[in-house]
């Protein structure tokens, strides 16, 4: 299965309800600092929304809920990997995407045979305080050479205007958060993203 080249990340199912009808085909639900039952409910609602719209849902971090709720994809950050039961994840048939920022992390992740590798932040990002300086486009090209056929996701400081350059540098997929969620017209922004990535 080929993943779509546009990969928005949202923190609530309400965003999916708004954006999936516009043609989003790959989406991550990344929930932070919510009670466990609220997270589970959000994942369940998002799973149904994605099924209704023929979209791929990637659940950030909450792999146990993803297994229990019959989801197909999870995304793990480096810290998440320390606590995750990779055997249980693989046994459940979950596909796995993982964040990387440096050589050691990439080596660690490649040994896990991931279903995609994310590299970030390609550009400076306002979303998270990160110890990594922006990676830049040459790094995207280098990472793609190293991951080979594994899909490479570029993330961090992404915008519609930067998307084409990141794809040209070697990324297979471009992921965006605040470029959409902080936009005065998120629907129009998503339409622009779809246009520039397809």
* 32 annotated active-site: no
Cα 10 to Cα 187: distance, rounded to the nearest angstrom: 13
Nearest to 56 by CA among 28, 94, 18, 87: 28
Q: Residue 142 corresponds to which tokens in the numbers above?
A: 């280098």
Which one of the listed residues 51, 90, 91, 128 is annotated catalytic? 128
Which one of the listed residues 30, 95, 144, 189 is annotated catalytic? 30
* 18 annotated active-site: no
Which one of the listed residues 13, 99, 159, 175 is annotated catalytic? 99
Cα 182 to Cα 113: distance, rounded to the nearest angstrom: 34
Question: Please, what is the end-to-end C-alpha distance for the chain in angstroms?
Answer: 16
Q: Residue 188 corresponds to which tokens in the numbers above?
A: 């129009």
* 5 annotated active-site: no
By annotation, the residues acting in catalysis are 30, 99, 128
């Amino acid at each position: 299965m080929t993943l779509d080249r546009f990969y928005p990340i949202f923190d609530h199912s309400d965003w999916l309800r708004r954006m999936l009808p516009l043609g989003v085909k790959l989406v991550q639900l990344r929930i932070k600092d919510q009670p466990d039952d609220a997270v589970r409910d959000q994942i369940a609602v998002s799973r149904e929304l994605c099924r209704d719209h023929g979209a791929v849902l990637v659940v950030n971090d909450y792999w146990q809920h993803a297994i229990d709720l019959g989801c197909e994809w999870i995304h793990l950050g480096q810290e998440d990997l320390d606590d995750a039961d990779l055997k249980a994840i693989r046994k459940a048939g979950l596909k796995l995407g993982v964040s990387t920022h440096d050589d050691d992390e990439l080596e660690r992740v490649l040994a896990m045979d991931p279903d995609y590798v994310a590299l970030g932040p390609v550009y400076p990002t306002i979303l998270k305080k990160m110890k990594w300086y922006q990676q830049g486009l040459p790094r995207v090209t280098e990472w793609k050479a190293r991951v080979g056929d594994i899909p490479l996701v570029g993330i961090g400081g992404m915008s519609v205007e930067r998307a084409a350059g990141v794809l040209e540098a070697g990324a297979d997929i471009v992921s965006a958060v605040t470029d959409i969620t902080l936009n005065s017209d998120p629907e129009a922004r998503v339409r622009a993203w779809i246009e520039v990535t397809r």
